[in-house]
């Protein structure tokens, strides 16, 4: 029986080398490219007709578009409009990556901390730069909760800085852990089906239910990633 | 004839769309408010979320302490200090998530939270 962790292995498809660094085109890269192509295809093909009364395909595209737009407006307000392309890209990339991982025999690149941490780091660094650009050095008041007495500053500032620095980690670990745990669990339970013989119907039913749950989690985690990005943008735009 | 009728039906559609949208908007807002308090997700999801927030801050604290020790050759004092600070930051994260400052560890005092709601209502 195959190991439940085998699905997370990365194999180079086109081995490439840049000096000392291994930049092979792997199955992970392949699925990322596939995600980008599918996302772009989904939006571009869906909007090809530009009907006033949308058909099903166009309605699906508009639904995803308006979902993110509303999310951004509710959390950030109207100043957040500028950042819509970024937030929408993140949402679609994570959502399609998660859902693509749910197709059998495919690879889930969001189950790798490298990928999610890179995404979270882009959000984190972008939001920090945004805060600096918007508020200059006033940005550092971020680390002093309002109404803090002066003697408490040396203790509170490190705590707030650590809390701030922990954002990309909690953002990336949340997505990565959910995908990793879900797919491993699915594989482990599926492994029981063949072993148990007739009683294998039970784990089989369980796998069916779990697959539905995993699809829910795929959407939910994309949503959580997006809303956290929105909240961080909101924090950077409106300091206390 | 058809030209004359079409805008009317479109206007009607627009009106219905707007009504539906405002209705939906109200619903979405209510849902989001609940989401802020972390009750729309299952208890397991909330627990995992809070656990991740707690652990992430400790990881950062330990990482900073370890690197400072490596750099200044003061093993293990900075590690101990920053572990404690990291744990405190983790508690702070958990407190912020649990007390309804939203999904993120935010930096708002309660009045600002009310203000944020105001912004939400305005939009």
Tokens at A23, concatenated:
């930049």
Tell me what the mean pLDDT of segment B110-116 comes to. 42
Query: Could you tell me which chain A residue has the CA closest to the CA of B60?
Result: A166
Query: Between these two residues, B123 and A84, which has the higher pLDDT value?
Result: A84
Average pLDDT value for residue range A84-109 = 93
**pLDDT number for residue B29:** 40
- Chain B CB contacts of A158 under 8 Å are 82, 85
Q: Is A79 on the interface with B (CB under 8 A)?
A: no
CA distance A174 to A116: 9
Peptide bond connecting B76 to the previous residue in cis, omega within 30 degrees of 0? yes
pLDDT band at residue B8 under the 50/70/90 scheme: low
Q: What is the reported pLDDT for B98? A: 77
C-alpha pair distances (Å), A40 with each of A44, A46, A102, A227, B13: 6, 10, 19, 22, 30
Does the pLDDT at position A209 exceed 90?
Answer: yes
B61, B87 Cβ separation under 8 angstroms: yes
Q: SS in 3 state form for chain A?
A: CCCCCHHHCCCEEECCEECCEECCEEHHHHHHHHHHHHHHHHHHHHCCCCCCCCCHHHHHHHHHHHHHHHHHHHHCCHHHHHHHHHHHHHHHHHHHHHHHHCCCCCCCHHHCHHHHHHHHHHHHHHHHHHHHHHHHHHHHHHHCCCCCCHHHHHHHHHHHHHHHHHHHHHHHHHHHHHHHHHHHHHHHHHHHHHHHHHHHHHHHHHHHHHHHHHHHHHHHHHHHHHHHHHHHHHHHHCCC
Structure tokens at A101: 């991982």
What does the longest C-alpha to C-alpha distance in chain B come to?
Answer: 88
Tell whether A124 is within 8 A of chain B (Cβ): no
Nearest to A219, CA basis, from A47, A58, A101: A101
Task: State what percent of residues in chain A have pLDDT above 70.
Answer: 99
Q: What are the pLDDT digits (tens) for A122-166?
A: 999 999 999 999 888 888 888 887 777 888 888 888 998 998 999
Q: How far is A1 from chain B (nearest CA, A)?
A: 30
Count CA within 13 A, CB hemisphere, residue B45. Answer: 18
Number of Cβ within 10 Å of residue A193's Cβ equals: 17
B23 pLDDT tier (thresholds 50, 70, 90)? low
The predicted pLDDT at position A130 comes to: 92
Confidence of residue A30 (pLDDT cuts 50, 70, 90): very high
DSSP letters spanning B67-79? HHHHHHT-TTHHH
ipTM of this complex prediction, to 2 decimal places: 0.77
Tens-place pLDDT, residues B35-44: 444 444 466 6
Lowest mean pLDDT: which of A16-30, A91-105, A164-178, B29-43?
B29-43
Q: Tell me the torsion sign for CA atoms A86, A222, A168, A35.
A: negative
Give the pLDDT score at A20: 84
Residue A22, pLDDT score: 85
- Looking at per-residue pLDDT, the higher value among B48 and B87 belongs to B87
Chain A partners within 8 Å of B93 (Cβ) = 163, 166, 170
pLDDT of residue B31: 39
Three-class SS state of B92: helix
Distance CA A131, CA A232 (A): 10
For the segment B28-50, the average pLDDT, to the nearest whole number, is: 53
Contacts made by residues A45-50, CB under 8 angstroms, sequence distance 24+: none
Residue B95: which pLDDT band, with cuts at 50, 70 and 90? confident
Taking contacts as CB-CB distances below 8 angstroms, the residues of chain B near A224 are 49, 103
Average pLDDT, chain A: 89
Chain A residues whose beta carbon lies within 8 Å of the beta carbon of residue B31: none
| Percentage of residues in chain B having pLDDT higher than 90 | 25
| B86: closest CA of chain A, how far (Å) | 6
Q: How far is B57 from chain A (nearest CA, A)?
A: 5
User: What does the pLDDT average to over A64-90?
Assistant: 91
Q: To the nearest 5 percent, what fractions of chain B are helix, strand and coil?
A: 80, 0, 20
pLDDT of residue B28: 41
Q: Is the pLDDT of residue B99 over 90?
A: no
Nearest to B61 among A78, A162, A227 (CB): A162
Instruction: Judge: A166–B105 Cβ closer than 8 Å, yes or no.
Output: yes
Closest residue on chain B to A224 (Cα): B103
Can you say whether residue A51 is alpha, beta or left, with left for phi > 0 and alpha for psi between -120 and 50 degrees?
beta
Model pLDDT, residue B116: 42
Are B104 and A167 inside 8 Å of each other by CB?
yes
Confidence of residue B121 (pLDDT cuts 50, 70, 90): very low
Residue A66 in contact with partner chain B when CB distance is under 8 A: no
Whole-number Å distance between alpha carbons of A218 and A225: 11
Beta carbons of A163 and B105 less than 8 Å apart: yes
């Amino acid at each position: 029986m195959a190991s439940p962790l085998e699905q997370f292995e990365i194999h180079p498809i086109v081995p490439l080398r840049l000096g000392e660094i291994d930049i092979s085109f792997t199955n992970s890269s392949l699925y990322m490219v596939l995600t980008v192509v599918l996302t772009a295809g989904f939006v571009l093909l869906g909007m090809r007709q530009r009907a006033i009364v949308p058909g099903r395909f166009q309605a699906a595209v508009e639904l995803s578009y308006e979902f993110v737009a509303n999310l951004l407006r509710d959390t950030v307000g109207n100043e957040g409009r500028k950042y819509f392309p970024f937030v929408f890209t993140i949402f679609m990339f994570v959502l399609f990556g998660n859902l693509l991982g749910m197709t059998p025999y495919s690879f889930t690149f969001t189950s790798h901390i490298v990928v999610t941490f890179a995404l979270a780091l882009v959000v984190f660094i972008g939001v920090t730069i945004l805060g600096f650009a918007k508020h200059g050095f006033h940005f550092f008041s971020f680390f002093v909760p309002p109404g803090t007495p002066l003697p408490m500053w040396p203790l509170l500032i490190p705590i707030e800085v650590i809390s701030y620095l922990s954002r990309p980690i909690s953002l990336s670990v949340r997505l990565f852990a959910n995908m990793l745990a879900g797919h491993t669990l699915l594989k482990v339970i599926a492994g029981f089906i063949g072993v148990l013989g007739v009683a294998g119907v039970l784990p089989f039913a369980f796998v069916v239910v779990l697959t539905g749950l995993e699809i829910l989690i795929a959407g939910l985690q994309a949503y959580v990633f997006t809303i956290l990005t929105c909240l961080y943008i909101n924090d950077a735009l409106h300091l206390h | 004839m058809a030209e004359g009728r079409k805008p009317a039906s479109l206007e009607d559609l627009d009106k219905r769309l707007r009504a539906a949208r405002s209705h939906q908007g109200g619903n979405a807002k209510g849902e989001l408010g609940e989401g802020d308090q972390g009750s729309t997700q299952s208890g397991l999801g909330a627990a995992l979320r809070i656990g991740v927030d707690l652990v992430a801050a400790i990881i950062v604290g330990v990482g900073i302490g370890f690197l400072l020790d490596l750099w200044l050759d003061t093993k293990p004092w900075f590690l101990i200090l920053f572990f404690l600070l990291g744990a405190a930051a983790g508690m702070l994260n958990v407190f912020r998530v649990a007390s309804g400052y939203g999904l993120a560890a935010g930096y708002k005092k309660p009045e600002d939270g009310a203000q944020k709601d105001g912004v939400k209502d305005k939009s």
